[in-house]
Amino acid sequence: MFGFLKQVGDYTRDAVDAARNLTQGLSVTFDHMKRRPVTVQYPYEKLIPSERYRGRIHYEFDKCIACEVCVRVCPINLPVVDWVMNKETKKKELRNYSIDFGVCIFCGNCVEYCPTNCLSMTEEYELAAFDRHSLNYDNVALGRLPTSVTTDPSVQPLRELVYLPAGEVQPHGVSPDRSRAGKLPEQILEELKAAGSRKAAEDGRESSSSASNEEESAG
């Protein structure tokens, strides 16, 4: 008899728990209804890519020395460096350079290892094409600079979460002249410089100035 009553009691408690959890869940979903949509209305609004964004690769033909380091560091040896040896000058003569962005995985190894910095990453990510062969960019196409999201008059640029001012979670309606949360790289650099010069003044040693120079080049 008591076993049965205990069963009934347990069952009732379970049902009450379930009902409480359900109301808690309903209050969560109800609470979400008054929040602003996080939607970025894509062709009209675009997020500003971060400064480390690895987009389509930019290439400067005149800087290239046809060393083929980019080909060797590429996971699939993708860049095509078309050069001939000029017998008279005993120098490589570059004729064509191309990267197929239908195959590229945008790992950035070529950009990292390029000895003359003729390769760089842009913030372009809209690479859709009707034909996959048109994704094979030659040196002319690689030399074009993309339209920046911030300068395009038909686009409303929106900042990503980490680039928003402290306390803001929505990019909509945040004024562009409000700085992001935390210190900017150049502010950190200035502080380091100031600290370095102060230290140098205190110690009267030369070594600190070279340290700050190093940091400047790293920043």
Q: Which residues bind another protein (CB under 8 A)?
A: 15, 22, 25-26, 28-30, 32-33, 35-39, 41
Distance from C-alpha of 119 to C-alpha of 61, rounded to nearest angstrom:
9
Nearer to another protein, 42 or 130 (CB): 42
Query: Is-contact 152 49, C-beta < 8 A?
Result: no
The CB-of-18 to another protein minimum distance in angstroms stands at 10
Q: How far is the CB of 45 from another protein (least distance, A)?
A: 11
Q: Which residues of 126-151 are buried (b: 16+ CB within 10 A; e: fewer)?
A: eeeeeeeeebbbebeebeeeeeebee
Residue 31 vs 206, nearer CB to another protein: 31
Q: Provide the minimum distance between the beta carbon of 128 and another protein in the complex, in angstroms, as a whole number.
A: 22
Tokens 């949509």: give the residue: 37
> Backbone phi, then psi, for 81, in 5-degree steps?
-105, 110
Q: Among positive and negative, which fits the CA dihedral 206, 210, 213, 214?
A: negative
Cβ proximity to another protein: between 29 and 89 the closer is 29
- C-beta closer to another protein: residue 58 or 159: 159
